[in-house]
């Protein structure tokens, strides 16, 4: 069962709706794309300029999977009096609504139809529980801030500080120029909520679509997607600031909140393809699927192998097209299922589990491994008592991997902003390598809690040198002539000494520096004009120890 369940504290909200008999919906795959009016030689007819720029950046060719479904095939489906609900380029398929079995019989006879599968199953008088169980705890507006942060995060201070996300923000990387597609279940009041004023005023909500209703998002649906958006894009200084407050967004409604049907995976596929063609850089998906209203459609743990469910395959296809897909692990940790749900098992995406504000595993957070024994979740962020913005513009706290995922997604966007030449898998690798359990990942927290200060080092093209479990430094150029620069990352404020020693241990140059955890600290040594050429030892001395590295001076003077 999908658990985008948010455990928001305070007011219990439970709702149920009465299911009604409805037309059946079907997933229809076609045999080919023969005689299509589209061509991979003219990709601008079906992919935006921004999507093509992404392909060019990572040398990803346009192939036949990118071609739209043959319009002639869709016309034949419509001629059979079926309504087309969604279409998929990647799977060469459509989802239809058929009001009569004779329609299906006609469609089955079409020579280009390869497969027909049911996408829904309704029972009359069925009660459907609200999948977004919501309890709210109102938080008093806060001006939480230290003198080490550029942005006044308010109630989001802890969830960002835990990841050292402020290091990216303090250096100006706040999501500018990055486009995030949010696939979710509703974006109520985003068009009027004060938390998103800056998004609206700067036209950074680039587009919307409701794949359930086949229309633009109306902003009067469920609130879950709006809460997810707030953890990334909210900008209420001193009250609540998200992890990428200057990013741009597509808001895509793929989740039918009143039922649990496998057609929602079809909607997700359509949403991911929409994000691809529009040129999105990242996808955040705080959705997950395992069981459905029709038990015959249920997934099994064996399906969590990265290659079985349609939504998981689509997530990997999105990644293969240069997007970074970030997915919640799910909230099944305390249930009989307890594993991650689709698409979190995809092997080329970043799956996020949950920890509390102290960094301890959240019992509700779904666990790994995948059925084929891969590490999942990849990493974790705060999903217990996460600060979010409600539809009324006030700040609340809620729990669920629905929130740890976008917290991570926003910072991944800021990190990627620094070096756009890196493909998404390199960003995932840097985030994992920076995390607290990088050397001993497990099935609860994956590689652990990332440190975006370390990740910053890892993507800047120079390998950092571990000094302690938390500190990193790098030296360049080496060999050097008259200047030697040391970049130092520390998790805390401290005084360090940098010494240049001869091979006999004599101190040839020395400098002390106060370093903090708000940014990468750069220290330059320039007292070398009298030094003879040769090999030296550069020593970094901290409060916890020291580290030596050989350097060479070569000067033409």
Q: How far apart (Å, rounded) are the C-alpha atoms in residues 448 and 494? A: 25
The residue-averaged pLDDT of 428-446 equals 94
SS3 418: helix
**Confidence grade of residue 531 (pLDDT, cut at 50, 70, 90):** confident
Q: How far apart (Å, rounded) are the C-alpha atoms in residues 387 and 379? A: 19
Whole-number Cα distances in Å, 396 to 161, 200, 222, 361, 440: 18, 22, 17, 21, 34
The reported pLDDT for the residue numbered 97 is 94
Looking at per-residue confidence, does 53 or 141 come out higher? 53
CATH class name, domain 23-118: alpha beta
**Structure tokens that stand for 441 in this block:** 């990942």
The reported pLDDT for the residue numbered 513 is 85
- pTM of the model as a whole: 0.83
SS3 16: strand
Q: How far apart (Å, rounded) are the C-alpha atoms in residues 78 and 329? A: 38
The residue-averaged pLDDT of 214-231 equals 96
For residue 507, the 8-state DSSP code is E
| Longest CA–CA separation in the chain, Å | 93
Is the CATH code 2.60.40.1930 the one for domain 465-553? Answer: yes
Other CB atoms within 10 A of residue 360 CB: 11
CA 214, 217, 221: angle at the middle one, nearest 5?
A: 105
The residue-averaged pLDDT of 39-65 equals 98
The residue-averaged pLDDT of 193-217 equals 97
Outline which parts of the chain fall under CATH 3.30.70.
23-118
Outline which parts of the chain fall under CATH 3.40.50.200.
11-15+128-254+280-458
**Structure tokens that stand for 71 in this block:** 């319009």
Q: Which residues contact 112 (CB under 8 A, 6 or more apart)?
A: 30, 31, 32, 34, 70, 73, 76
Outline which parts of the chain fall under CATH 2.60.40.1930.
465-553
Residue with tokens 């000067």: 555
pLDDT tens for 112-139 read: 999 999 887 544 334 334 455 444 555 5
For 428, phi then psi, to 5°, come to -60, -45
The reported pLDDT for the residue numbered 153 is 96
pLDDT tens for 330-384 read: 999 999 999 999 999 999 999 999 999 999 999 999 999 999 999 999 999 999 9
Please give the share of the chain, as a percent, with pLDDT higher than 70.
87
Is there a contact between 406 and 338 (Cβ–Cβ < 8 Å)? no
The reported pLDDT for the residue numbered 457 is 81
**Confidence grade of residue 547 (pLDDT, cut at 50, 70, 90):** confident
**Looking at the predicted structure, is the pLDDT value of residue 495 above 60?**
yes
**Structure tokens that stand for 472 in this block:** 């990193």
Q: How far apart (Å, rounded) are the C-alpha atoms in residues 49 and 72? A: 26
| CATH pick for 11-15+128-254+280-458 out of 3.40.50.300, 3.40.50.200, 2.40.50.140, 1.10.10.10 | 3.40.50.200
Looking at per-residue confidence, does 485 or 230 come out higher? 230
The residue-averaged pLDDT of 218-225 equals 95
Q: How far apart (Å, rounded) are the C-alpha atoms in residues 57 and 39? A: 21
Nearest C-alpha neighbor of 140 from the set 369, 387, 448: 387
């Amino acid at each position: 069962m999908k658990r985008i369940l948010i455990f928001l504290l305070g007011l219990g909200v439970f709702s149920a709706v009465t299911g009604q008999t409805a037309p059946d919906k079907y997933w229809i795959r076609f045999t080919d794309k023969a005689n299509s009016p589209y061509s991979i030689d003219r990709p601008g007819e079906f992919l935006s300029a921004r999507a093509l720029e992404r392909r060019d950046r990572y040398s990803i060719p346009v192939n036949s999977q990118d071609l739209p479904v043959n319009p002639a095939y869709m016309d034949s489906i419509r001629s059979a009096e079926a309504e087309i609900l969604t279409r998929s380029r990647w799977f060469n398929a459509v989802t239809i609504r058929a009001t009569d079995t004779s329609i299906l019989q006609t469609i089955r006879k079409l020579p280009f139809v390869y497969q027909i599968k049911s996408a829904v199953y309704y029972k009359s008088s069925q009660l459907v529980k609200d999948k977004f169980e919501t309890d709210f705890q109102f938080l008093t507006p806060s001006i939480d801030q230290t003198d080490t942060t550029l942005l006044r995060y308010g109630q989001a201070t802890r969830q960002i500080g835990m990841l050292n996300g402020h290091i990216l923000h303090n250096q100006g990387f706040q999501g500018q120029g990055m486009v995030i597609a949010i696939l979710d279940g509703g974006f109520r009041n985003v068009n009027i909520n004060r938390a998103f004023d800056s998004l609206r005023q700067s036209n950074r909500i680039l587009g919307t679509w409701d794949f359930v209703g086949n229309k633009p998002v109306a902003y009067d649906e469920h609130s879950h997607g709006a809460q997810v958006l707030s953890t990334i894009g909210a900008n209420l200084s001193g009250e609540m600031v998200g992890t990428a407050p200057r990013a741009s967004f597509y808001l895509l409604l793929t989740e039918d909140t009143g039922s649990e049907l496998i057609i929602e995976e079809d909607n997700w596929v359509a949403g991911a393809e929409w994000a691809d063609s529009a040129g999105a850089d990242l996808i955040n998906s705080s959705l997950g699927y395992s069981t459905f209203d029709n038990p015959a459609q249920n997934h099994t743990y064996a399906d969590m192998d990265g290659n079985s469910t349609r939504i998981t395959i689509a997530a990997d296809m999105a990644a293969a097209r240069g997007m970074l897909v970030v997915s919640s692990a799910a909230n099944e940790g305390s249930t009989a299922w307890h594993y991650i749900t689709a698409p979190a098992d995809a092997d080329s995406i970043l799956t996020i589990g949950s920890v509390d504000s102290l960094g301890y595993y959240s019992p509700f957070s779904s666990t790994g491994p995948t059925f084929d024994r891969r590490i999942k979740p990849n990493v974790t962020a705060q999903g217990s008592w996460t600060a979010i913005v409600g539809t009324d513009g006030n700040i609340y706290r809620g729990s669920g991997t629905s929130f740890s995922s976008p917290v991570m997604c926003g910072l991944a966007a800021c990190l990627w902003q620094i070096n756009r030449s890196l493909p998404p898998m390199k960003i995932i690798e840097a985030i994992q390598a920076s995390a607290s359990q990088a050397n001993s990942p497990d099935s609860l927290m994956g590689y652990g809690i990332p440190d975006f200060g370390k990740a910053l080092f890892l993507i800047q093209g120079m390998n950092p040198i571990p000094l302690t479990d938390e500190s990193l430094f790098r030296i360049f150029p080496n060999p050097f002539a008259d200047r030697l620069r040391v970049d130092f990352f520390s998790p805390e404020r401290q005084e360090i000494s940098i010494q240049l020693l001869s091979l006999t241990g004599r101190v040839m140059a020395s400098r002390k520096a106060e370093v903090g955890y708000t940014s990468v600290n750069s220290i330059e040594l320039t007292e070398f004009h009298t030094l003879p050429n040769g090999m030296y030892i550069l020593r970094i001395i901290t409060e916890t120890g020291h580290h030596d590295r050989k350097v060479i001076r070569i000067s033409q003077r």
